[in-house]
């Protein structure tokens, strides 16, 4: 999620421009932002093991950007990736998806 309020996703894809946000049940650190219970809707959840044997969780669905001040409701989106980014260290750098 964008570190600064009302920022387009693409404009936040730089070191320090992003912050991890989680639902209440997945939050593991006070440094992570908290998504409200109604943020996700029409969600399809898929879990499994990847080619390297690591676990993954994928959410596909709709979000309600008006429920957080970080998102710009007119933004066309972007992608954060825990195994991508410069050198494969995640975007944001050091981000990880856990259980």
Residue-wise pLDDT for 2-13, tens only, equals 888 988 888 887
pLDDT of residue 79: 66
56 contact partners, CB below 8 Å, separation of at least 6? 47, 48, 49, 50, 97
Total residues belonging to the chain: 99
Residue 23 has pLDDT above 90, yes or no: no
26 contact partners, CB below 8 Å, separation of at least 6? none
Helix (H, G, I), strand (E, B) or coil at 46: strand
The tokens for 15 are 């070191």
């Amino acid at each position: 999620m964008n570190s600064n309020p009302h920022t387009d996703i693409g404009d936040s894809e730089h070191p320090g421009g992003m912050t991890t946000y989680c639902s209440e049940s997945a939050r593991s650190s006070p440094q992570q932002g908290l998504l409200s219970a109604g943020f996700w809707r029409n969600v399809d959840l898929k879990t499994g093991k990847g080619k390297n044997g690591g676990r993954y969780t994928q959410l596909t669905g709709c979000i309600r950007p008006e429920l957080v001040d970080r998102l710009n409701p007119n933004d066309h989106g972007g992608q954060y990736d825990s195994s991508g980014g410069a050198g494969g260290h995640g975007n944001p750098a050091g981000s990880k998806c856990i259980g």
